[in-house]
């Protein structure tokens, strides 16, 4: 059964597992398949669908919009997102200027065929645009009824804190959520850097890449399958991440985790996703699937959380050996 969590301190309750479209929609998945994936997720209790203008140059949003329309989903039963930064190749189509923030939102609404975005993210920080300009642009979109919540993706704690300070100083709406990468092999921001933000601002997190682009499924333990994401055109950079020495060391840890998952009688995929869900500061884990059987299997991760007992979590920690340092307390 699906679990629902508040998006940080907001009143929005989103499904603990959500469906994203990075790499899949518009590349591996077209409209009819997207429709099947969305319906399967929705019927399983998923109520948040994640997207961005930069995913396949807007094609991902078009496919998701068509699928949602064809399914006839009631707008008051699901949340959909977009992200602004990479809108095209022209200078005004990039970054977080007030103009691009507004233009990107308007285009996303058309592509997704919705009247408003529930969540709207700054896809990356923009060092060429004052944070006040971006915060004010997001606040204005909220006043116009075009978005409900705004947030960030891959911002630092310092940048998010600055956005809150600007919002407080000028009576503007602060960011409600952050979308960071988080998985067994990538933990620093969520478990250490952001700790003060959960307490001070009630930050929500919609984490991406729980399976580290498939690495944490164990399917790359003995090489790269020809039909996998790591062999897709334009994603050579992803393959290179796991081909260097650091990547090879991480793969060895995955092999050890795979042995543990077999001892527990669960798949490596379920272990990896449910491990993310064990963190109470995770609002939702965004799943990415190109095939129906992948999605159906990923959704079953909720059923195995109880198998990650405190003793098992200690064993996992011993294998990955990458727990980030917490705040240091001096003089005690």
- In percent, the amount of the chain with pLDDT more than 90 equals 80
CA distance 215 to 224: 10
Q: Confidence class of residue 31 from pLDDT cuts 50, 70 and 90?
A: confident
Residue 232: pLDDT band (50, 70, 90) is: low
Give the model confidence (pLDDT) of 50-98 as tens digits: 999 999 999 999 999 999 999 999 999 999 999 999 999 999 999 999 9
Cβ neighbours for 50, distance < 8 A, ≥ 6 positions apart: 18, 19, 20, 21, 22, 80, 81, 119, 179, 206, 208, 286
What are the catalytic residues? 55
Sorted by where each starts, the structural domains of the chain and their CATH numbers stand as 4-212+274-308 (3.20.20.100)
Question: pLDDT band for position 15 (50/70/90)?
Answer: very high
> What are the tens digits of pLDDT across the range 277-290?
999 999 999 999 88
Q: What is the mean pLDDT of residues 268-274?
A: 98
């Amino acid at each position: 059964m699906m679990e629902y969590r508040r998006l940080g301190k907001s009143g929005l309750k989103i499904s603990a597992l959500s469906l994203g479209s990075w790499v899949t929609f518009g590349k591996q998945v077209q409209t009819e398949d997207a429709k099947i994936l969305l319906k399967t997720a929705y019927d399983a209790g998923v109520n948040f669908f994640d997207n961005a203008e930069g995913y396949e140059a807007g094609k991902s949003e078009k496919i998701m919009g068509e699928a949602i329309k064809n399914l006839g989903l009631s707008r008051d039963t699901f949340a959909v997102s977009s992200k602004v930064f990479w809108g095209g190749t022209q200078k005004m189509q990039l970054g977080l200027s007030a103009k691009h923030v507004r233009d990107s939102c308007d285009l996303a609404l058309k592509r997704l065929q919705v009247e408003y975005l529930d969540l709207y993210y700054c896809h990356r920080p923009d060092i060429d645009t004052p944070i006040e300009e971006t915060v004010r642009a997001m606040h204005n979109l909220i006043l116009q009824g075009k978005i409900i919540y705004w947030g960030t993706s891959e911002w630092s704690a310092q940048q998010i804190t600055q956005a809150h300070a600007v919002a407080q100083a000028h009576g503007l709406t602060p960011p409600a959520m952050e979308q960071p990468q988080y998985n067994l092999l990538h933990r620093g921001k969520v478990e250490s850097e952001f700790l003060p933000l959960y307490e001070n601002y009630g930050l929500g997190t919609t984490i991406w890449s729980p399976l580290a682009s498939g690495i944490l499924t164990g399917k790359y333990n003995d090489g790269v399958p020809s039909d996998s994401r790591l062999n897709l055109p334009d994603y050579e950079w992803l393959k290179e991440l796991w081909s260097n020495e650091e990547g090879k060391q991480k793969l060895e840890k995955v092999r050890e985790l795979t042995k543990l998952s077999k001892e527990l009688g669960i798949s490596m995929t379920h272990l990896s996703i449910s491990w993310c869900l064990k963190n109470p500061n995770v609002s939702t884990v965004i799943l990415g699937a190109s095939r129906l059987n992948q999605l159906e299997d990923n959704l079953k991760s909720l059923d195995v959380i109880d198998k990650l007992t405190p003793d098992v979590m200690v064993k996992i920690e011993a294998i990955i050996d990458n727990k980030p340092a917490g705040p240091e307390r001096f003089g005690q």
